[in-house]
């Protein structure tokens, strides 16, 4: 099967290339980047030396992409630009897996509130399923042509929380989420703030109280709960390259055994979610480089709260790995293909 990546100059794009380079079934046949057009991939992504030496970035127009023999396109474009490619490609019968935020919300009003302008084609918002594969309740989404990959923070948060809200094991009011992300979450860009000398040895909160990812977190939690959920989401930048650690506090509406039972029911047969014993805290270093989500929980009898922790690789399970997992499932490949 032939795949293409649109907009591969950033970290998600680079990670997609690296993962697809070793995928047993998917062949990478076009990789575009306006600014890198004409450059061999292995010059920009030296990890590919000896692995994929032949491919070159192109500046293909959407018409050329439509006429190509590529089946599945991954969009690793900046938010707002994806739509320009996604809609014509899907209309032309291609499958599109979008890593941007363009189609992650269901509500056009919420989109406007968080992104500051009307969505250019709001009719697509309800047609593009929001995707963390482990959380889908049936396989209907596999028939869709446009898929919205969940964001990195949301994946780390929704994976542990959604099964618990569905099972009614949490009080949906007063949830507090503190997340720490590696610096690559800020993207690959020329910016003093993301310079090595600025970020090393620096731990800092940012964007409180209304980070953009809050919109998809709350919309999805509300769907799981069956009613409005408002949370306190507190992102931080940590002095590491990759990884997200999320620590979540929620009032318990059940026992720790019930919590673990709900998780085991949901994830027992899922290769990419590891349910760790209580008091074994997920560590970013054990998930970075993998497509895994590690989750665990403790119950605090003093406060009546569950404390839930998770860890993912923001560029893999939080972006490119998840996109490939989605492709694997849609096309009947082994779910793990290219991912271990």
Closer CB to a copy of itself, 68 or 253, in the complex? 253
Closer CB to a copy of itself, 70 or 183, in the complex? 183
Residue 300 touches a copy of itself, criterion: CB under 8 A: yes
Residues 11, 13, 14, 15, CA torsion sign: positive
Q: Which of residues 257-276 bind a copy of itself (CB under 8 A)?
A: 271-272, 274, 276
CB of 287 vs a copy of itself, minimal distance in Å: 8
226: left (phi over 0), alpha (psi -120 to 50) or beta: left
Specify the DSSP class assigned to residue 276.
Answer: P
Residue 156 touches a copy of itself, criterion: CB under 8 A: no
Q: Which of residues 59-98 bind a copy of itself (CB under 8 A)?
A: none
Single residue of 202, 257, 264, 334 touching a copy of itself by CB under 8 A: 202
DSSP string covering 205-242, please?
E-STT--THHHHHHHHHHHHHTS----EEEEEE-SSSS
Single residue of 191, 227, 265, 334 touching a copy of itself by CB under 8 A: 191
Closer CB to a copy of itself, 86 or 235, in the complex? 235
121 is catalytic: no
Residue 118 touches a copy of itself, criterion: CB under 8 A: no
98 Cβ contact list (under 8 Å, min separation 6):
74, 75, 82, 86, 128, 146, 147, 148, 149
Count residues contacting a copy of itself (CB under 8 A)? 76
CB of 57 vs a copy of itself, minimal distance in Å: 16
Single residue of 110, 149, 150, 180 touching a copy of itself by CB under 8 A: 180
Single residue of 92, 109, 203, 265 touching a copy of itself by CB under 8 A: 203
DSSP string covering 55-98, please?
-B-B---HHHHHHSS--EEEE-PPTTTHHHHHHHHHHTT-EEEE
Cβ atoms of 145 and 93 closer than 8 Å: yes
Q: Which two tokens stand for residue 122?
A: 């709001």
183 three-state secondary structure: helix
Nearest Cα neighbor of 247 from 309, 296, 319, 160 is 309
Residue 183 touches a copy of itself, criterion: CB under 8 A: yes
Residue 11 touches a copy of itself, criterion: CB under 8 A: yes
Q: Which stretch binds a copy of itself (CB under 8 A): 94-102, 122-130, 161-169, 170-178?
A: 170-178
Nearest Cα neighbor of 4 from 29, 41, 37, 40 is 29
Q: Which stretch binds a copy of itself (CB under 8 A): 26-34, 66-74, 159-167, 172-180?
A: 172-180
Single residue of 38, 93, 116, 209 touching a copy of itself by CB under 8 A: 209
The C-alpha atoms of residue 148 and residue 142 are separated, in whole angstroms, by: 12
Closer CB to a copy of itself, 49 or 79, in the complex? 49
The C-alpha atoms of residue 295 and residue 293 are separated, in whole angstroms, by: 6
Residue 188 touches a copy of itself, criterion: CB under 8 A: yes
Phi, psi of 5, rounded to the nearest 5 degrees: -125, 125
CB of 317 vs a copy of itself, minimal distance in Å: 12
**Residues with a known catalytic role:** 152
């Amino acid at each position: 099967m032939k795949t293409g990546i649109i907009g591969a100059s950033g970290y998600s794009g680079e990670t997609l290339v690296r993962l697809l380079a070793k995928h047993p079934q998917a062949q990478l046949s076009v990789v575009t980047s306006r600014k890198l057009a004409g450059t061999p991939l292995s010059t920009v992504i030296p990890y590919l030396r000896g692995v994929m030496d032949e491919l070159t970035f192109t500046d293909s127009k959407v018409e050329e992409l439509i006429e190509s023999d590529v089946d599945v396109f991954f969009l690793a474009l900046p938010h707002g630009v994806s739509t320009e490619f996604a809609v014509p490609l899907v209309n032309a019968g291609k499958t599109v897996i979008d890593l941007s935020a363009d189609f992650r919300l269901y509500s056009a009003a919420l989109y406007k509130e968080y992104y500051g302008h009307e969505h250019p084609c709001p009719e697509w918002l309800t047609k593009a399923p929001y995707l963390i594969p482990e959380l889908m309740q049936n396989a209907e989404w596999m028939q869709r042509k446009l898929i919205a990959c969940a964001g990195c923070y949301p994946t780390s948060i929704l994976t542990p929380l959604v099964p618990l809200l569905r099972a009614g094991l949490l009080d949906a009011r007063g949830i507090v989420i503190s997340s720490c992300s590696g610096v690559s979450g800020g993207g690959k860009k020329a910016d003093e703030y993301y310079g090595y000398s600025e970020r090393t040895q620096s731990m800092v909160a940012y964007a409180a109280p209304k980070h953009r990812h809050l919109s998809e977190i709350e919309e999805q939690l509300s769907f799981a709960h069956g009613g409005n959920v408002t949370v306190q989401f507190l992102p931080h930048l940590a002095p590491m390259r990759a990884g997200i650690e999320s620590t979540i506090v929620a009032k318990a509406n059940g026992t720790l055994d019930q919590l673990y039972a709900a998780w085991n029911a949901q994830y027992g047969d899922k290769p990419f979610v590891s349910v760790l014993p209580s008091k074994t805290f997920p560590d970013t270093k054990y998930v970075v480089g993998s497509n895994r989500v590690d989750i665990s929980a403790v119950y605090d009898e003093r406060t009546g709260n569950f404390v839930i922790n998770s860890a993912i690789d923001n560029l893999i399970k939080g972006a490119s790995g998840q996109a490939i997992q989605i492709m694997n499932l849609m096309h009947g490949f082994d779910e793990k293909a290219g991912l271990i």
